[in-house]
Structure 1
Amino acid sequence: MNSDCSMLRLLVNGKSAQSPALRDVVEATREKGARLEVTVTWEAGDAVRLAEQAGKDGVSRLIVAGGDGTVNEAVNGLMRLSREDRPALGVLPMGTANDLATGLGIPDELSEAMDLALNASLRAVDVLSVGDHYFLNMLSAGFGAEITASTPKTLKRLLGGGAYSLMGALKARRFHACPARLEWPEGEGHRELFLLAIGNGAQAGGGQRLSPLARLDDGLLEVLTVRQFSSLSGMRQMIAELKRLPASGEYVEYWQTDQVRVTADQPLPLTLDGEPHRMTQLDVSLEHHAIDLMAPKTCQLLESAAPKS
């Protein structure tokens, strides 16, 4: 076990606290000699506070057991700390979609994910922000955000990521585009948005790959816009163009930049790592190499060849 793992804390989403598999992993980790503390969330916002407190307590590695929303809260807590006080972040995927963990290549099997969190080299990654909200994986606005926000939790539990596809099929033809103006250092323009995705990671919505060029450590964010279609043939073409990403087409545009402003005519439904919000203006920027992350050596979302020592 790495020597820098001397101060470990596991932050568990309360919904997963009674998991026998998780309890077995915690017990096995302690039997190997690790001093692993466990904290559990009770309600929304707890993970923000608990992650910040972990840094204040001198924790070296904070391992989050939960889904994308719990990880998002933890990231927001870490960003309240100075860079040198932020614990490195590990993830045990225990949510519905686990888009970030899947993109990183973190194993689904909890014992393997814990082994990675304990022993992986640290990799400095970027964190994106919208105002005082931070996110590590993906912002989606328009149709994608509406589906995420409106998919019932019971359906998510029953169907997993497939629930998003089902709700999307039911609602796509009835969705009204969101007019917005986009401005970024290299350009600007008006868009009738069916979908907007601004990514640091590669996928959202239960496995929908929206940012094929994404790297968490390259100092760039990915922007995907999808224009509203008005016919069944237009929808088919839009879907075909999405399969050809990162190429742009008649309905789909894709580019990389380091910041973007989105100004909408009315509040946009959006999600930050799956957590719902509504905003009229989005100023999206990034903080380069803001958090240290534990990820597999073969992670496709990391550009840097050498891990942080």
Structure 2
Amino acid sequence: MSELRSKAEHTAAIRELRRAVLVVNTRSRKGRHSYFEALRLLEAEGFRPLRSYAVMDPTRLPQTIKDALDLQPDLLVVGGGDGSLSEAVKHVAHRDVALGVLPLGTTNNFARSLGLPLDLALAVKVFSRGKVADIDLGMAGDRPFANLASFGVSVEVAGRVKPWLKRALGRAAYPLTALALLPGHKPFRAFITVDGRRHELLTHQLNIANGRYHGGWQIAKDISIDNRRLVAYQLGSGKRLRLIAETMVRATSGRWRSLAGGPFVTGGEMLLETEPPIAADVDGEVRLRTPMTIRTIPNGLRVMVPPRFVDT
């Protein structure tokens, strides 16, 4: 962990020195059309990037981000979807560099949780007019994540949703793919232990969120990416029809439910066990399996946010 400047000092350095590096995943939904526009907008805001990278091969993204950080920028601007930003989070965590987010993906959950505008030009203005904030990270096993760890049918959806469908329909591509997969999906039993209390449920879909959004829709009104707590919740139940109903409602309305009245479990650390053991989708990356411990790391990531963002 590198020694961090105060947030005020870091904000001042970004505004005065404008030392930034730009990395854009041009394979993301909007990235291939937005790289040159992002560079133009950065320069219009007074930034002269130390270097800019257009990444056409996503397998090159980890090394590109490492190369970008070797230039020691005050601000690492990353454009792409939640998967690209999740990769950046792993490298920026606990370092004296702020992550600047360009929301160029399908759902842009991380950007929404930070209260960022989804318009590219307005998002770039945050870098010169916003502030540096320290937000919480999630940790699934030894894997840091910004937004969400999910279990169940969504893991299959992540591997099966077609790129052309995401380009054509945007965030609606995910629930539509889920509806196609549900008839052959089997429910699983989950056990979540928080603060000494064990919760049991049978479901097709379980999510544990650090951020406030999933699938581009707000999970609950009173969830925050900066409150030192994770939120576990299920969609539907062990019955396919209930999950189909929940999926359709979210796809058409983006309905949220309050923590006070919804089926949520909250805590700073959760032990998750399942029968049978299943794979986890951690911010779009499927590598881990249950059982696992999931916890928060307070102030684990430095980001640029709008002035109105409440930084605790």
Partner of 2:188: 178
Distance 1:24 1:93 in 2: 13
Show the counterpart of 1:245: 257
| C-alpha contact (below 8 Å) 2:135/2:225 kept by paired residues | yes
Are residue 108 (structure 1) and residue 118 (structure 2) matched? Answer: yes
Aligned-pair distance for 1:282?
A: 2.0
**Cα contact 2:189–2:202 (8 A) shared by 1:** yes
Whether 1:10 and 2:22 are equivalent positions in the alignment is yes
Residue 109 of structure 1 deviates from its aligned partner by 2.3
Whole-Å Cα distance in 2 between the matches of residues 18 and 44 of structure 1? 12
Which of 22, 28, 43 is residue 57 of structure 2 equivalent to? 43
Q: d(CA) in 1 for partners of 2:290 and 2:269?
A: 17
Residue matched to 2:230:
221
Counterparts of 1:20 and 1:233 in 2: how far apart (Å)? 39
Answering whether residue 83 of structure 2 is matched by residue 69 of structure 1, we say yes
CA distance in structure 2 between the partners assigned to 1:231 and 1:172 by the alignment: 7
Distance in 2 (CA, whole Å) between partners of 1:18 and 1:203 is: 21
Question: TM-score normalised to the size of structure 1?
Answer: 0.82
1:210 aligns to what? 219
Distance 1:190 1:163 in 2: 30
Residues 118 and 209 (structure 1), Cα distance of their counterparts in 2 relative to 1, 3 Å cut: same
- Measure how far apart 1:146 and its partner are: 2.5
C-alpha distance in structure 2 between counterparts of 1:170 and 1:276, whole Å? 20
For the residue of structure 2 that corresponds to 1:198, the secondary structure is strand
Give the Cα separation in 1 of the matches to 2:117 and 2:109: 12
**What CA distance in whole angstroms lies between the structure 1 residues aligned with 2:178 and 2:218?**
15
Report deviation, 1:113: 1.0
Q: Which residue of 1 aligns with 2:148?
A: 138
**Hey, what does 2:97 align to over in structure 1?**
87
RMSD, matched Cα: 3.0
Match of 1:9, SS state, is: strand
Q: Which residue of 1 aligns with 2:6?
A: none
Distance apart, 1:40 and its partner CA: 3.3
**Superposition deviation, residue 248 in structure 1:** 7.4
Flag the 1:32–1:138 CA change in 2: closer, same or farther, 3 A.
Answer: closer
- Residue in structure 2 matched with residue 30 of structure 1 by the alignment: 43
- Counterparts of 1:14 and 1:145 in 2: how far apart (Å)? 24
Local SS of the residue matching 1:15: coil
Q: Percent identity?
A: 22
Letter in 2 for 1:210: I
Q: In 1, distance between residues paired with 2:160 and 2:200? A: 27
Query: Does 136-145 or 209-218 show the bigger shift?
Result: 209-218
Q: Secondary structure at the match of 1:189?
A: strand
Q: Does structure 1 retain, via aligned residues, the 8 Å contact 2:23–2:52?
A: yes
Inter-partner Cα distance in structure 1 for 2:242 and 2:126: 46
Rate the CA distance shift 1:233–1:296 in 2: closer, same or farther, 3 A. closer
- Kindly indicate whether the alpha-carbon contact (under 8 Å) linking 2:102 and 2:123 is maintained by their aligned counterparts in 1: yes
Greater CA deviation, 38-47 or 111-120?
A: 38-47
State whether residues 146 and 270 of structure 1, in contact with CA within 8 Å, keep that contact through their aligned partners in structure 2.
no
Q: Deviation of residue 48 (structure 1)?
A: 3.0
Counterpart code for 1:155: L
SS of 2:278's equivalent in the other structure is strand
Structure 1 match to 2:305: 295
After superposition, residues 233-272 of structure 1 pair within 5 angstroms as 236=245, 243=255, 245-246=257-258, 253-272=263-282
Give secondary structure in 1 for the equivalent of 2:227. coil
SS of alignment partner, residue 64 of structure 1: strand
Given candidates 217, 230, 233, the residue that maps to 2:239 is 230
Shift of 1:187: 1.1
The equivalent of 2:7 in structure 1 is none
- Native 8 Å contact 1:48 1:73 kept in 2: yes
Residue 279 of structure 1 is aligned with which of 259, 273, 289? 289
Give, in angstroms, the shift of residue 186 of structure 1: 4.1
Instruction: Read off the aligned partner of 1:23 and give its amino acid letter.
Output: F
Q: Residues 124 and 293 of structure 1 are in contact (CA less than 8 Å); yes or no, is this contact kept in structure 2?
A: yes
Partner Cα separation in structure 2 for residue 110 and residue 171 of structure 1: 34
**DSSP 3-state at the match of 2:263:** strand
Instruction: Summarize deviations over 1:33-52 as a string: whole Å, max 9, x none.
Output: 42212123353453333334
1: distance between equivalents of 2:221 and 2:287? Answer: 25
Return the offset for 1:236.
4.7
